[in-house]
């Protein structure tokens, strides 16, 4: 009997080039690790060169770092050109980069609104267009996974701009899935609930600031939304992405996969 772990044995994405945006930490880093364990060559795209470099060095296999702001279309085009020069055509694109800022609707100014749409929606549009010639070349093995949120499936108070952007991302996912269905390229979204990341800590800090609650009280207020009574772990989101990128998920497209402990059903 082999003593190798399932991850060590699994190389289902060998020879494939996966590009992950917002890869420096949290869910993005977990996704990059999961795909690398499947044998994919990785391009880690983001703005934090140090964090991306540390992640690249820790991954099995071949990983490169490409710096770009996903809200800058020209920078994205240049980044994708550098990515394919190193690893060849991109056959897997994971649009993970995102940002959440909360404010009461009356205090949501145009700058906040535009920023939430730029980071959470328009960036995915720009990155997907940049990758599309490569993905068409990959044919039935092409995969697009958009990291949305349960905010793409329901509404939350005080994050109207974020929810609007994530709802738009889910709409983009479903529309593009229909458009590309006959090519074999699949387009899906994963929708995490509150996940144990730096973004969660930012939400807790904001609750403390606006309500005067302690950190423990703020955490409990958020965890109550999950029927399992806990926060989602980044590795659980990454496992869903890993499966969507596999050959086994070839008939799955246009879907919103909730990873939220039953919060959205």
Please write the tens of the pLDDT for every residue from 62-114.
999 999 999 999 999 999 999 999 999 999 999 999 999 989 999 999 999 99
Cα–Cα distances in Å, from 147 out to 23, 29, 143, 188, 235?
Answer: 12, 13, 13, 9, 13
Domain 14-193+233-249 has CATH 3.40.640.10: no
- Distance (Å, whole) CA 29 – CA 175: 27
pLDDT of residue 198: 78
Q: pTM of the prediction? A: 0.92
Question: For tokens 């992950």, what's the residue?
Answer: 20
Residue 3 pLDDT > 80: no
Listed by start position, the domains of the chain span 14-193+233-249, 194-231
194 in catalytic set: no
Instruction: Determine which helix (DSSP H) or strand (DSSP E) holds 21, and give its type and residue range.
Output: strand 17-21
End-to-end CA distance of the chain: 40
* Three-state secondary structure call for residue 149: coil
Token pair in block for residue 208: 């403390």
């Amino acid at each position: 009997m082999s003593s190798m772990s399932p991850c060590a044995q699994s190389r289902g994405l060998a020879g494939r080039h996966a590009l992950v945006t917002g890869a420096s930490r949290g869910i993005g880093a977990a996704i990059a690790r999961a795909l690398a364990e499947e044998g994919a060559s990785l391009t880690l795209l983001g703005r934090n060169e140090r964090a991306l470099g540390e992640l690249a060095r820790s991954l099995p296999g071949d990983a490169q770092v490409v710096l770009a702001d996903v809200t800058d279309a020209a920078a994205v085009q240049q980044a994708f050109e550098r990515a394919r020069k190193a690893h060849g055509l991109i056959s897997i694109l994971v649009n993970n980069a995102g940002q959440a800022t909360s404010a009461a609707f009356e205090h949501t100014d145009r700058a906040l609104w535009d920023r939430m749409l730029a980071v959470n929606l328009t960036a995915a549009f720009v990155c997907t267009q940049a990758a599309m010639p490569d993905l068409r070349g990959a044919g039935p093995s092409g995969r697009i996974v958009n990291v949305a949120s349960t905010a793409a499936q329901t509404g939350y108070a005080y994050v109207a701009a974020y929810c609007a952007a994530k709802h738009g991302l889910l709409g983009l996912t479903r529309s593009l899935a229909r458009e590309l269905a006959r090519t074999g390229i699949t387009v899906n979204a994963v929708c995490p609930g509150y996940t144990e990341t730096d973004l969660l800590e930012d939400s807790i800090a904001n609750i403390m600031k606006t309500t005067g609650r302690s950190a423990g009280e703020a955490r409990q207020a958020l965890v109550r939304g999950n029927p399992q009574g806990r926060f989602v772990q980044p590795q659980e989101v990454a496992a869903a992405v890993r499966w969507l990128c596999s050959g086994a998920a070839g008939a799955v497209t246009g879907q919103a996969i909730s990873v939220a402990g039953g919060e959205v059903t």
